[in-house]
């Protein structure tokens, strides 16, 4: 049952990612492979939840800096230099950890800028 739910969630995320319109002048593949990406994640309620997601994502070869905000249910992922974030792969890792990804948003800011912005709210 968990595998079926995971497959459905990943499929829904993939459809949502395909539906996003790339920025003017951006290549068609930029939505799937992006720079810094913010993920809206449901189900994170404690530091242990954040630690579990962080542990899974830091094992991925393309992930660099991470920021997780429990109060706003946001996970921001910045790629390592020369790499890009595969939104579907990162979403699948979060879903496999037991959480629901409700939205993804490629953003121009770095993780440090996102952290500073969210702390100022």
**Rounded alpha-carbon distances, angstroms, from residue 11 to 23, 46, 70:** 23, 27, 25
Contact of 97 with 60, CB cutoff 8 Å: no
The residue ranges of every structural domain in the chain are 2-119
Burial, 37: exposed, middle or buried (Cβ in 10 Å; 0-12, 13-18, 19+)? buried
What share of the chain has pLDDT > 90, as a percent?
68
Structure tokens that stand for 57 in this block? 């994502």
pLDDT band at 7 (very low <50, low <70, confident <90, very high): very low
Helix (H, G, I), strand (E, B) or coil at 78: strand
pLDDT band at 33 (very low <50, low <70, confident <90, very high): low
Fold classification of 2-119 (topology level): Alpha-Beta Plaits (3.30.70)
- pTM (2 d.p.): 0.72
Q: What per-residue confidence (pLDDT) applies to 32?
A: 55
Which residue is associated with the tokens 């990612």? 17
> Mean pLDDT score of the chain, rounded to an integer?
80
Which residue is associated with the tokens 């770095």? 110
């Amino acid at each position: 049952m968990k595998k079926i739910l995971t497959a459905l969630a990943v499929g829904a995320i993939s459809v949502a990612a395909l539906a996003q319109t790339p920025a003017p002048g951006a290549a068609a593949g930029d939505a799937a492979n992006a720079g810094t990406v913010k993920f809206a994640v449901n189900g994170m309620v404690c530091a242990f939840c954040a630690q579990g997601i962080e542990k899974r994502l830091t094992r991925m070869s393309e992930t660099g800096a991470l920021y997780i905000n429990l109060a706003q249910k946001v996970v921001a992922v910045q790629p390592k230099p020369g790499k890009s974030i595969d939104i579907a792969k990162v979403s699948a890792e979060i879903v496999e950890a037991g959480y629901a990804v409700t939205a993804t948003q490629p953003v121009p800011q770095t993780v440090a800028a996102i952290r500073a912005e969210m702390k100022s709210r």
